[in-house]
A and B are shown apart, each in its own frame.
Chain A
C-alpha cells in the first residue's frame, strides 16, 4: 500500500521556518502511523518525534495527522487517504520536527495541585462507595498527552487559560470523595480563566481516549456559580 507522507520539518539549528518534506513509502495493511514513521526513520535518522509505549497508553506520540490531533501509535494507516499530512501539535512551541515543548501544559498541571489533599488517613484504606468511585470514571484516565489542549483556540490566544486537559484533571481531584482540598481548589479555579472557554468542543473531538474535557469545564463552572462538589 503506497502512501505519501507530507511531514512538517523544523530544526532550530539550521531552519528559520518549518517546511514540508515528502516521503513516499510502501506500507503494510496493518501499520499504524507510528509504524510508518519508524519505517521512515530507518532510512532518515534525522526525523524526530516522541514515542514510548506504542499502544495508546502513554500519550507521547500525540501529533496532528490530516488535521486531527491523534496518537500516531493508534491511528491506522488503512483508515487514512493516500496523502497523509503530519505536523506537530499546534499551539505549542516546536522543539524539532514533530516534537513540541509541553512545558506550559506541565506547568498548568502543577497549578491545579494534582494530588490528594487530605489529613490523617485511616489505618487501612479510605472507604469509598461504588457510587463515589464511579464519579472518577471519565476523568482519571487522562494521559496528559496534550491533544485536547492543543486543539483549543482559547489556549492558543490566552496565556492564563489552563486548557481543557488540565480542567479535566482538576475535576478528577474535586470529585474524589477522599479529597479535602475543595476550598483551595475552588480558589485556584476562580483565578483561572475558566470562563473564557467558548464551548467549541474541539477538545472532545481530539481526545484519543474518548474523554470529555468540556463536560469537566461545565461542571467546574457549576461549582463556582452554585457551590457543591457534585
Chain B
C-alpha cells in the first residue's frame, strides 16, 4: 500500500484548486491531486473573460457588479458572499495580472474589458459597461497556465492522473482520502490535516454539454457518500448555442455582434419570446425559446445565421467561432447556417460552504473540520439560480484564494487525526470488487442512457411527470450499475476504471438533482417548471439542501441571505 502524508491536500487543479494552493503554501506544506495533468483541467475551456469592475473602459463600481450579480441570480444568491466576491474581484484581477496572465490591452496599456450579458451601470438602470477582463477569447487557458507556472515556481507537489475515490473521516473531521493512480493502476492513501475539494461541476450529466469529458461531479459524489449535504443542485445553466451535435460552445458574442437565430421554417422566432431584446435576452430565456422551437418542430436544433455579416467583420470579431464551425462541422459560416441547440454549461449547485470555503456539515452554519471546497463544485452561493457570464472564472480565483488563506491560517494549529481503518478497508473492498466482476455491462451505453434521459426529462423544460419518470429511470440504471465489472482489463492506465467511478458519482448526483428539482414547485433562473411557470418568493425564496442517510435522500431548506437588495420582478 502506498501512503502519503501532506499537511494540506488539494483535490483538483483548475483555477480554484491552483489559486488555493498558491495561498495555502504560505501556511504549510501543500500537495495537489488531479485526475488529469493540471493544465488540462476544464478551466482551460473558458473563453469570454473574467469579471471585475476595474473601470478601465468607462466608469464602473463593484457595487454595480454586486447588483447585477444579485439580479442575475434571480435573487437566490447569498448577498453577503456576492458583495465579497465583487469587491475582491478587483484585487484578484490585478493579482492575476501580476502573476503574468497575458490579458489583452486597451489603448492605455491597461487590461482590456468587453461587454457581456447582464453587465450594467447605475444598479441596472444605466447603459451596459465593459466589465469582462479579456485575454483574446482564451481567458481560461491564460489564467490556468499562469497559475500552474506559479505553482511550479513555489515547488508545490503534484500528483497528476490520480483519481480520488473516497474521502476519509474521523469523528472529529476529515483526515484524508483514497486515490487511484491511473497510470500505474494502484491504490494510494493520503493522510492530511486539511483537504480542499476543487473538483468542478457536473454538467456531464447531460448528453449535450459544453463541458469536458471529466466534469462528472466527483467531489459532490464523495460528499453525498459521506452523508454530507449538497445545495441547490436543481439549478443547471444551459448555454443557448452549443454546436450541434457535440455541444461545443458558440460564444454569446455571435449574437452580440448581430447574428440571428432561425428555426426550421427560417423565422427569427425570438420575436415571439422576447420581442424587445430578441437574441440578446438573458441566457435562460433564449435557451428556453430554442428548446420550445426544437420540441415544436421535432428537429433537434435551430440555426445561427451570420451570412449577412461581412467577411472582414467575422474575421476580426469572431475568428474562433469561424474556425470551430469549419473545423468540426465543415461549415463556411459566410454561406451556411450553423446548427445549434442549448447545451448544459454550468452547475450553480454544489457543496455548501461559508465565505472562507469551509464545508458546512449541516449545510447551514456548522463547519466540518478539515474540509474545504471552492470553485464550481462549491455553492457559496454567489450564482443563485442563474450565473452571469464571466463570473465563474473569477469565482474560482476569489474563493480559491480565500479558502487557501484560511487553510494557511489553520494548518499549524491543526493536528493529524487518526486514519479510519474500517473506512479504508471498506473502500478497498469496493474497488477490488470491480476487478472481480466480469465486464458484461457496457459502461458507455449505461452512461449514455443516463445522459440522454437527463436531457429529456430534467433539462431546460421540466414538469412533474417527466421528473418522476426520470427518477425511476435513474433507480433502474443504478441497479444495472451494480453489475458492472472490470475483470481481466489490465490495471495500467485503465480508462474504464475511471469511467466506472465517474458514472457512479453521476448516477448518485443525478438522483439528487431530480429530487431537488421535483420538490421546487416554481420557476426561477435556470430551473423552469412548465407546471409552475412563475417565481414564488413566498414559498421558495430558499436554498435546497439534500443529503443521503441510510441510502435515502432527504431534503431540507435554508433561507437566502439578503442584505441590500430585496427581491423584485425581473423584466427583459
- Interface residue ranges, A against B (CB under 8 Å): 11-14, 30, 32, 38, 41-43, 45-60, 74, 76, 78, 95-97, 99, 102, 106, 109-110, 113-116, 118, 121, 123-130, 132-133, 136, 140-141, 143-144, 173, 176, 178-179
Q: Are B141 and A143 in contact (CB under 8 A)?
A: yes
| B153 and A74 within 8 A (CB) | no
- Main secondary structure, interface of A, reads loop
The answer for the CA separation of A173 and B146 in the assembled complex, in Å, is 11
- Contact A125 B495, CB 8 Å, known A45-B489, A58-B44, A74-B327: no
Selected interface stretch from B383-391, B393-401, B440-448, B563-571: B440-448
Question: Given A46-B489, A74-B327, A140–B39 Cβ distance below 8 Å?
Answer: no
Q: Mark B423-459, 1 if CB is under 8 A from A, else 0.
A: 0000000000000000100111100000000000000
Q: How far is the CA of A106 from the CA of B104 in the complex (A)?
A: 27
Contact status A52-B442, CB under 8 Å:
no
- Decide if A129 touches B40 in the complex (CB within 8 Å): no
User: Do B100 and A176 touch across chains, with their CB atoms under 8 A apart?
Assistant: yes
Least CB separation from A78: chain B residue: B330
- Report A212 CB to chain B, min CB distance, Å: 17
Can you list the 7 inter-chain pairs with the closest CB atoms, starting with the nearest? A116-B100, A42-B444, A115-B149, A127-B109, A121-B98, A45-B496, A114-B149
Question: Is the pair A13, B490 in contact by a Cβ cutoff of 8 Å?
Answer: yes
Q: In the docked arrangement, what's the CA distance between A32 and B444, Å?
A: 18
> Shortest distance in angstroms between A32's beta carbon and chain B's nearest beta carbon?
7
| Cα–Cα, bound, A49→B494 (Å) | 9
Contact, CB under 8 Å: B138 / A141: yes
Instruction: Write the nearest CB–CB distance from A110 to chain B, whole angstroms.
Output: 5
Contact of B98 with A58 in the complex, beta carbons under 8 Å: no
Given known pairs A52-B212, A58-B44, the reply for A125 and B103 (CB within 8 Å) is yes
B residues contacting A by CB (< 8 A) are 36-37, 39-40, 42, 44-45, 54, 93-94, 97-100, 102-105, 107-111, 138, 140-142, 145-146, 148-150, 152-153, 183, 212-214, 245-246, 248-249, 324, 327-330, 439, 442-445, 486, 489-496, 499
CB pair A126–B98 under 8 Å, yes or no, is: yes
> Can you offer 19 A-B residue contacts whose CB atoms are under 8 A?
A12-B492, A41-B444, A45-B439, A45-B444, A49-B495, A53-B42, A53-B45, A54-B212, A55-B248, A55-B249, A55-B328, A58-B39, A58-B44, A76-B328, A115-B146, A116-B99, A116-B149, A132-B105, A143-B44
| CB contact under 8 A between A115 and B152, given known A126-B97, A133-B104 | yes
Contact B328 A127 (CB under 8 A): no
Residues from chain A with a CB closer than 8 A to the CB of B246 are: 54-55
Would you give the shortest CB distance from B91 to chain A, in whole angstroms? Answer: 10
**Complex Cα–Cα for A207 and B344 (A):** 30
A129–B107 Cα distance when bound, in Å, is 7
Contact assessment for B492 and A96 in the assembled complex, using a CB-CB cutoff below 8 Å: yes
CB-based nearest A residue for B152: A110
Which A residues touch B40, using CB under 8 A? 52-53, 58-60
Q: Chain A residues near B183 (CB, 8 Å)?
A: 95
Distance of A11 Cα from B488 Cα, bound (Å): 12
Chain B residues near A121: list those with CB within 8 A. 94, 98
Contact A52 B214 (CB under 8 A): yes
Q: How far is the CB of A129 from chain B (nearest CB, A)?
A: 5
A29 to B, closest residue via Cβ: B330
Q: How far is the CA of A46 from the CA of B330 in the complex (A)?
A: 31
Q: Which of B141, B248, B495 contacts A48 (CB 8 A)?
A: B495
Give the nearest-CB partner of B138 in chain A.
A141
